[in-house]
Amino acid sequence: MRKAFTLIELLVVIAIIALLLSIIVPSLRLAKMKASSVVCMTNTKNMSLAWYSYQADNNGRIMSAQMDAREENGTYVGWIGAPFRSTPGDLANTAVNTPPITEEDAIRGIQQGRLHEYLKSPQSYKCPGDTIRKSVYDQVTPYVSYSLSRALYWTTNRSSQFYNQQIRAFGEITSPSTRYVFVEVAQERNWNQSGWFSFGAPEYYGQATGHNRPGGWGWWDPLAINHGDSSIIGYTDGHAETRRWQDPFTRERVEKLSRTGVAMYNVEFPPDGQTADIEYMARGWAYRYR
């Protein structure tokens, strides 16, 4: 007759299983993160190439970073459209009441944008690592993971004081391989509000008071860090790169804004000794080098 396991034997087996799990689980998590980064890199590169292709077909004119943007003659130039409902309901700029936006609504908005003409795969607008973000209004997970730099034709309104403080043609961009167009965003207002990524650049804030950052460079919209300590950034020449963030302030800000809520979505300056990341983003801000 076969004897049952003794208590010591069971404890040994449990200890071995626990040891194996402690080795396997982190490896699986790392493998999943690596796979997510590869897909996100492909997405960002394809979006950047699509953006580049548009200007090549339009005499150097670039599409607008603003959702649903139209020029004065009525030409639609928005890179993406706002979510388009199949059923009636509220659709405000920052908040959606009832019913919540669906994935299908978001995809219909994507299909309205000029970028979709060159990249007909709505799934490319979604990073697989973008899973934690939830709307502060209705807990819906926003579909679009990326925004377009506000330096790149974010307003078509000629009467705006900012109309001439932006890039409107590809030929105005110096060193396109160093100027970013697409960034991963941690926007928690249902959909990426207006389609652009706002950065606290000098043309908006000048030499801001109460801080010692030369030129007024500060963080504004929350940048997403979906790949460990890194994000994927797309550039105006059509390539994409991984940026590993150096400063704890940069990495911790996303979580802080999520805890605090949308009231914290404003310019914020890093402390002394933690300016490597903001200096990197400042070097890539296209308007500064027009």
Q: What is the pLDDT of residue 31?
A: 61
State the alpha helices, DSSP H only, in 196-275.
Answer: 202-205, 248-260
- Which one, of 262, 180, 190, lies nearest residue 221 by Cα? 262
Q: What is the pLDDT of residue 138?
A: 72
Q: Please state, in angstroms and as integers, the Cα–Cα distance from residue 167 to each residue in 60, 70, 170, 221, following that order.
A: 11, 16, 8, 19
d(CA 207, CA 137): 34
Q: Please check whether residue 81 is in contact with residue 158, taking contact to mean a CB–CB distance below 8 angstroms.
A: no
Q: Please check whether residue 131 is in contact with residue 180, taking contact to mean a CB–CB distance below 8 angstroms.
A: no
Is residue 2 included in any domain, yes or no? Answer: no
d(CA 164, CA 205): 15
d(CA 237, CA 44): 12
CA 23 to chain centre: 33
Is residue 61 included in any domain, yes or no? Answer: yes
- pLDDT tens series, the chain, 290 aa: 556 667 676 777 777 787 776 776 665 565 666 778 899 999 999 999 999 999 999 999 999 999 889 998 999 999 998 887 766 555 555 566 567 778 888 898 899 999 999 999 999 999 999 988 887 777 778 889 999 999 999 999 999 888 988 999 999 999 999 999 999 998 877 666 667 888 888 887 664 444 445 457 888 888 899 998 999 999 999 999 999 999 999 999 888 877 776 555 678 888 889 999 999 999 999 998 77
Beta strand residue intervals within the chain, DSSP E: 146-149, 180-184, 196-197, 230-235, 240-244
Q: What is the pLDDT of residue 212?
A: 46
ω before 99 within 30° of 0 (cis)?
yes
Tokens of 222: 């929350």
d(CA 62, CA 177): 16
Is residue 260 included in any domain, yes or no? Answer: yes
- Which one, of 151, 147, 149, 148, lies nearest residue 166 by Cα? 151
Q: At 147, phi and psi to the nearest 5?
A: -130, 160
Q: What is the pLDDT of residue 255?
A: 80
Q: What is the pLDDT of residue 167?
A: 95
Q: The domain containing residue 118 runs over which residues? A: 7-289
Is residue 238 included in any domain, yes or no? Answer: yes
Domain count, the chain: 1
Instruction: State the burial class of residue 94 (Cβ atoms within 10 Å of its Cβ: 0-12, 13-18, 19+).
Output: middle
Is residue 39 included in any domain, yes or no? Answer: yes
Q: How many helices (H) and strands (E) does the chain have?
A: 5, 5
Is residue 1 included in any domain, yes or no? Answer: no
Q: Please check whether residue 243 is in contact with residue 231, taking contact to mean a CB–CB distance below 8 angstroms.
A: yes
Q: Please check whether residue 206 is in contact with residue 216, taking contact to mean a CB–CB distance below 8 angstroms.
A: yes
